[in-house]
């Protein structure tokens, strides 16, 4: 959430279901898990370290504080790309005519992680929520942000985008290999992704 004033904020339709499913599945496999979560109505998985944040900058600080102790980092959060340049101290009232909102870019947490990873064997996974040119946009993001793999889905689909309980994703690897998974519950998508991440991890050791 990026506040405009004490009453209003900028956000998106992401429910957090995919990230929570990944955290739950990883913990079930015995992993030590820290879940950095924005505001959501979801119940957090048991036995994970939960770090609640609101803004992109708060998420950045939390992720950077935790990242060096983990072998795998999965950035499934749909972080807002922009925030208001200024936040009003009091509620912006009607009657002042059309308001102009000036935006500034939020920190790119995933790119910062990719840039700072160096020779670390840590596996870095990103997500791309797209509505067009899915593969081209995912390829650019994977390369630009120095990822091991990226998971892309078409969020314009009602059965596989934000808020849905199911997802249909494409997995793009650093070597250019593309894998497409059929529509399935997000819990099963999480298991499938963790299988692939495990294989990458084993190859990197």
pLDDT beyond 90 at 143: yes
162-181 pLDDT, tens digit per residue, is 889 999 999 999 999 999 99
**Alpha-carbon distance values, 88 to 74, 83, 172 (Å):** 34, 13, 42
Catalytic residue of the set 12, 106, 137, 146: 12
Residues 6+ apart with CB under 8 A from 176: none
What is the pLDDT averaged over residues 31-47?
96
CB 178 within 8 A of CB 171: yes
Does the CA dihedral 117-48-168-204 come out positive or negative? Answer: positive
pLDDT beyond 90 at 95: no
What is the pLDDT averaged over residues 128-147?
96
Q: Tokens 């963790």 sit at which residue?
A: 194
Residues 6+ apart with CB under 8 A from 185: 165, 166, 167
12 has catalytic annotation? yes
CB 9 within 8 A of CB 83: no
Q: Rounded to whole angstroms, how far apart are CA atoms 159 and 172?
A: 21
Q: According to the model, what pLDDT value does residue 121 have? A: 82
102-128 pLDDT, tens digit per residue, is 999 999 999 999 998 877 789 999 999
pTM over 0.75: yes
């Amino acid at each position: 959430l990026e506040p405009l004033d004490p009453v209003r904020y900028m956000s998106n339709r992401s429910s957090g279901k995919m990230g929570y499913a990944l955290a739950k599945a990883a913990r079930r496999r015995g992993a030590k898990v820290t879940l950095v979560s924005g505001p959501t109505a979801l119940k957090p998985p048991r036995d994970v370290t939960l770090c609640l944040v609101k803004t992109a900058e708060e998420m950045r600080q939390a992720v950077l504080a935790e990242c060096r102790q983990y072998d795998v980092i999965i950035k499934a959060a749909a972080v807002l790309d922009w925030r208001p340049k200024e936040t009003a101290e009091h509620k912006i009232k009607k009657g002042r005519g059309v308001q102009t909102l000036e935006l500034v870019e939020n920190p790119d947490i995933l790119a910062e992680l990719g840039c700072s990873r160096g020779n670390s064997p840590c596996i870095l996974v990103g997500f791309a929520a797209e509505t067009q040119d899915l593969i081209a946009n995912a390829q650019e993001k994977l390369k630009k942000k120095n990822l091991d793999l990226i998971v892309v889905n078409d969020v314009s689909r009602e059965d596989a985008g934000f808020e849905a309980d199911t997802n249909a994703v494409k997995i793009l690897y650093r070597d250019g290999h593309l894998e497409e998974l059929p529509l399935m519950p997000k819990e099963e998508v999480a298991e499938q992704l963790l299988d692939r991440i495990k294989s990458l991890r084993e190859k990197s050791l």
